[in-house]
Structure 1
Amino acid sequence: MDSSSGSTPYSAPSGCPMHGERQTSLYGPEFAADPQRVYDAFRAHGLAAPIELAPGVEATLVVQHEAALRVLQNPSYFARDSRRWAALREGRVPMDSPVLPMMMYRPNCLFTDGTEHLRLRKAVTESLARLNTTRLSRDVERIADYLIDQFVERGSADLLGDYAKLLPLLLFNQLFGCPGDIGDRLTRSMSAIFDGVDVLRANTELTECLMELVALKRRQPGEDITSWLIQHPAGLRDEELKDQLVMLMGAGVEPERNLIANALLLMLSRETGAPQRRGTGMLVEDAIDDVLWNNPPIANYAAHYPVQDIDLGGVTLKADSPVLISFAAANSDPALTDARQTLSKGAHLAWGAGPHVCPAKSPAQLIALTAIEKVLNSVPDLALAVAPASVEWRPGPFHRALVSLPVRFTPAPARRSSAVPAAPSSAAPLREAAPEPVPSASYDRTAEQPKKAKGWWSSFLDVFRV
């Protein structure tokens, strides 16, 4: 629906059919265990329902596909700027709420509208367009090799904690040109924000280390996304640069790990340990597509703020109150049951729609495809260590995320040295060939000075130092 045509697709609401109804919590274990049951109950109510995202944080969730598109594709009526959020302005939202880092205003293209959004989005999309896909695949493979070597000799692993969670963190530190110390802090703070742990401190640390990264790249530009954003003709200020990085890392880390883990769970559940996935079974591309349709990594998000009270199919959406899109519910809308037979694979809403559609869809799918193929080919007899129905899902209103993905396999020797030599001063440029690991025998431990414990990013850089 085109809101620029001059016609008004919404009427003034005559009443609120949701008035007085209790909000449904989206952050408890009951919702995480069976969200589809909740979405089905919402649909019995209408195309949207009142929810509680966290204690004291109320919103409306759109669960019907056509209604979701009406919100996503009409920025004139549904703004993304969360400074409109009346409850937050009026002090009715706790400042330590775990959902605030995901919903508070930042001057990036996720939370802006109009010409400002176009300016910031152009800088992001044109910087992402400079990524070399061949190089990106090699970087994913190199990181995957490193992570697989950490568990391949054990015969068991948690493919979430040992692989899917760490790979995007390490990769994005590489793509943004992070040196070891900044990368370790970024990894720690991003994980804390997504897990809702001490979010005020984590958000402060995230801001500090990203501002350090921006300052470093202004002095020492490289072949990385941070430098490309700095060099873009849009002339982004430091605060804007920092918040484009927050958006890109946030959108690239949590959803990517969930996409990888959820697709692996699907494949291993269907194959029950059989090797068919290498040829006659489910293709990796099909597993990724299935997850994006039926179990999207970001299930509920894209907060919009109606610019006036709006009647959306009989449901009143109050001005300046958050309206979220349930991508998971919209994709499973029964109204699409017949249409899905003729829709293209990419017709789901997992990437969003309208002016704020995800700008990194292609690299995100390439990363997931490469990471999944790498671990399946490297560990040929990979099998779930638990029944598929017994896996646990992490509570939270926004994501569809596993707690763990335990697997078993035949132990095998690691393929490269996991010794940790001295750290380099900065990350290797994005487009250079991967350096060979330094053998442990060449590392002079007698000359080493006492150092703090290293994080994953520093350790990874140490292995691949020039």
Structure 2
Amino acid sequence: MPPPSGPPRGRSRLLGRCPAVALYGPELDGDSLPALYEQLRRVHGPVAPVMIAPGVSAWLVIGHREVLRLTREEQDFSHDPRHWTLLREGRVPPDSPLLPIVGWRPALLYTDGQQHRRMRTAVSDALAAIDGHALRRTVRASAEALIVSFADRREADLVPHYARRLSLQVLTGLLGLDDRNGQLLAQAIMGVIVTNADSINASGRMDSILRELIKEKRRRPTGDLTSALLNHPANLTEDEVLHNLVVMFVAGHQTTVNWITTTLRVLICDPGFRSSVSIGHLSVDDALDLVLWRYPPTQNVPARYATRDLELGGRHIRAGDMLVLGLAGANQDPEVLPEGGTPVVGNRSHLSFGAGPHMCPAQDPARLITRTAVDTIQHRLPELELAVPESELAWVRSPWSKGLAALPVRFAKPQLPHAPEHREPSAQAQES
């Protein structure tokens, strides 16, 4: 679709008058950002002016009610970055590390209305066709093989040695990639997400790997997500298949790593919660939901773009302004939390999967993968404990992702599977 017509609009008047806080830089990590969100809430309310890169302004929406409006009202808040004033006016450099994340792609994440519904139907149908029982067996087998690979050492870092390798093996298998190209794809995607000077090159490497995959699956379709998208009645173009695969991998890989490791941290570091899960008073799903409330694997999501001048959270938003979904901030909005600030068990009104027409279509397989990963390690390593003080655990430095940089643990004799029926991770996966 062409860029919106009409004269270019400047930034919101309030965005020019209010001091905008930098939402980038190495000093921002999982430890400092929750306090920043609360400071922004006190000073600015549910919608706060921020800078997401030098010279690039946006609104960070951290009110629960306001995020719901942002996600549900497509007529006022578009996914299409071609509405973005700064981009239309040439004020975002073409080599900006933000563009691999917010630049337009022919994928469901960047479209609205009928075009979005057509692509979402194809993606949702492909995901719905996944055999849950087979996926659970695959995850458990991969998880047990990984545990076997480090069991003799009686210690491991569960971020690179377990969660990252497990997520990579499972997701690349679902896409139909082999281990080597799956590893290369994961490296390229991480290069895009970190938003640095190499992000543009990483985006090119990512596209190249997926184009080769698409060619192969056109020649020899199998029961994977790529083949399902290529053969769906929605008749997606090759570019649409490629970029929807990018969205699925980006949305699935690091968030799964974060969800697994943060849940394990909660279970290791909170003996009371772990005991309640062990004796059946609480379930692993309760632990998963606690993490989604307190430590959502994706804490901020770019972006929506105002299609007209309007009011949101007491702020005057101009047509063409960018709005960032502050999921972590919205989950801690005092207006939706019960007294004491802790969600009740079974409450899934968090916004970690988004809301509205663009709510994540992969919630069920994501939960199945994460639950199985946590269940398996709890069963095989029942005496798991941290190898460092909890205060030394650090979060990844990113304004977008919320995950542990490392989770070093030690354990007593593991409860290993009796038969050597689970394949070892490939050499490429071991290098991650």
Decide: shared fold, TM above 0.5.
Answer: yes
Residues of 2 paired with 1:146 and 1:134: CA distance?
18
Which residue is 1:350 aligned to? 352
Matched, 1:42 2:40: yes
Change (3 A) 1:274 1:354: closer
Change (3 A) 1:380 1:276: farther
Note if contact 1:317-1:323 (Cα within 8 Å) is conserved in structure 2.
no
Residues of 2 paired with 1:273 and 1:352: CA distance?
27
Map 1:192-203 onto structure 2 (within 5 A): 192-196=191-195, 198-203=198-203
Which residue is 1:75 aligned to? 74
Matched, 1:328 2:301: no
Which residue is 2:300 aligned to? 300
Which residue is 2:152 aligned to? 153
Note if contact 1:417-1:437 (Cα within 8 Å) is conserved in structure 2.
no
Residues of 1 paired with 2:46 and 2:275: CA distance?
42
Report the alpha carbon displacement of residue 75 of structure 1 after superposing the two structures with TM.
Answer: 0.2
> Secondary structure of the equivalent of 1:50?
strand
Note if contact 2:80-2:305 (Cα within 8 Å) is conserved in structure 1.
yes
> Secondary structure of the equivalent of 2:403?
coil
Residues of 2 paired with 1:145 and 1:62: CA distance?
41
Instruction: Give the TM-score normalised by structure 2.
Output: 0.89
Note if contact 1:62-1:326 (Cα within 8 Å) is conserved in structure 2.
yes
Matched, 1:101 2:100: yes
Matched, 1:224 2:224: yes
> Secondary structure of the equivalent of 2:28?
helix
Residues of 1 paired with 2:151 and 2:74: CA distance?
49
Identity of aligned residues (%): 35
Which residue is 1:398 aligned to? 400
Note if contact 2:59-2:323 (Cα within 8 Å) is conserved in structure 1.
yes
Q: What per-residue deviation string (whole Å, max 9, x for no partner) do you get for residues 11-51 of structure 1?
A: xxxx8444322321222344312222111111121221111
Matched, 1:252 2:249: no
Residues of 2 paired with 1:335 and 1:118: CA distance?
32
> Secondary structure of the equivalent of 2:230?
helix
Q: What per-residue deviation string (whole Å, max 9, x for no partner) do you get for residues 182-237 of structure 1?
A: 32321321232234452122111110010110110000000111111111001111
Greater Cα shift, 159-168 or 312-321: 312-321
Which residue is 1:456 aligned to? 429
Q: 386, 389, 395: which one pairs with 1:387?
A: 389
**Structure 2 residues without counterparts, runs of 5 or longer:** 1-11
Note if contact 2:303-2:322 (Cα within 8 Å) is conserved in structure 1.
yes
Note if contact 1:194-1:254 (Cα within 8 Å) is conserved in structure 2.
no
Change (3 A) 1:379 1:79: same
**Structure 1 residues without counterparts, runs of 5 or longer:** 1-14, 419-434, 439-452, 461-466
Amino acid paired to 2:154 = G
Q: 368, 371, 374: which one pairs with 1:372?
A: 374
Note if contact 1:273-1:381 (Cα within 8 Å) is conserved in structure 2.
no
Note if contact 1:81-1:113 (Cα within 8 Å) is conserved in structure 2.
yes
> Secondary structure of the equivalent of 1:157?
strand
Residues of 1 paired with 2:265 and 2:57: CA distance?
32
Matched, 1:140 2:139: yes
Q: 355, 359, 374: which one pairs with 2:361?
A: 359
> Secondary structure of the equivalent of 2:190?
helix
> Secondary structure of the equivalent of 1:236?
coil
Residues of 1 paired with 2:418 and 2:117: CA distance?
45
Structure exhibiting the larger radius of gyration computed from Cα positions: 1
Amino acid paired to 2:104 = Y
Which residue is 2:8 aligned to? none
Which residue is 2:163 aligned to? 164
Which residue is 1:448 aligned to? none
Change (3 A) 1:96 1:17: closer
Residues of 1 paired with 2:416 and 2:353: CA distance?
36
Which residue is 2:188 aligned to? 189
Which residue is 1:421 aligned to? none
Q: What per-residue deviation string (whole Å, max 9, x for no partner) do you get for residues 335-392 of structure 1?
A: 1133887896221111111110010111111111000111111111110122223211
> Secondary structure of the equivalent of 1:334?
coil
Report the alpha carbon displacement of residue 277 of structure 1 after superposing the two structures with TM.
Answer: 4.5
Greater Cα shift, 196-205 or 56-65: 196-205
Residues of 1 paired with 2:281 and 2:13: CA distance?
50
Map 1:87-126 onto structure 2 (within 5 A): 87-126=86-125
> Secondary structure of the equivalent of 1:234?
coil
Amino acid paired to 1:236 = L
Which residue is 1:60 aligned to? 59
